[in-house]
Amino acid sequence: MSNRTISVMFVCMGNVCRSPAAHAVFMHKLRERGLEEQVLVASSGTIAYHTGEPADPRMIQELARNGVESVSRAQQFTLEDFSRYDLILAMDRRNYESLKEMAANGNCQYFSRVRLFRDFDPEGPGDVPDPYYGGRSGFAEVFRMVDRTTDYLLDRIFAGELVP
């Protein structure tokens, strides 16, 4: 990886469960590695329903149970974000398709920056399931997916494999 700061955006639907978890875990692991100054990290949602709200309290609790601090407030992904972020990680196929549709309406030259988050999961690709309408076990499952995937993702980023 070059010496410049890179930027990473995590995207789910409402930006209150999955992408805030990925944002928080990613920041936590950057701090553990002493690399927090090298990466700008954000999260957003493809809808604006929760704009300005903190993460879902159940996700905040799951993060805290694992020693990770919640760090974001919900915001909506914008067309400008395509050019602002080097790597945009959709938490599931539905949000990937929403981003693809947005890109087709104005920033398709940047769509190559969009990837599915779990394409970097050592246990295999797929969607990060939305735990919003479920119980605690769904939030724990999302945390486990995010935790293991983030380690692999960071290794790939700092090996210079994912961003210019």
Q: What does R_g of the chain's alpha carbons equal in angstroms?
A: 15
- DSSP conformation class of 120: G
Residues in Cβ contact with 101 at an 8 Å cutoff, skipping those fewer than 6 apart: none
User: DSSP of 51-117, one letter per residue?
Assistant: TT-BS-HHHHHHHHHTT-----B--B--HHHHHH-SEEEESSHHHHHHHHHHHHTTTGGGGGGEEEG
Give me the active site residues, please.
12, 18, 130
Residues in Cβ contact with 97 at an 8 Å cutoff, skipping those fewer than 6 apart: none
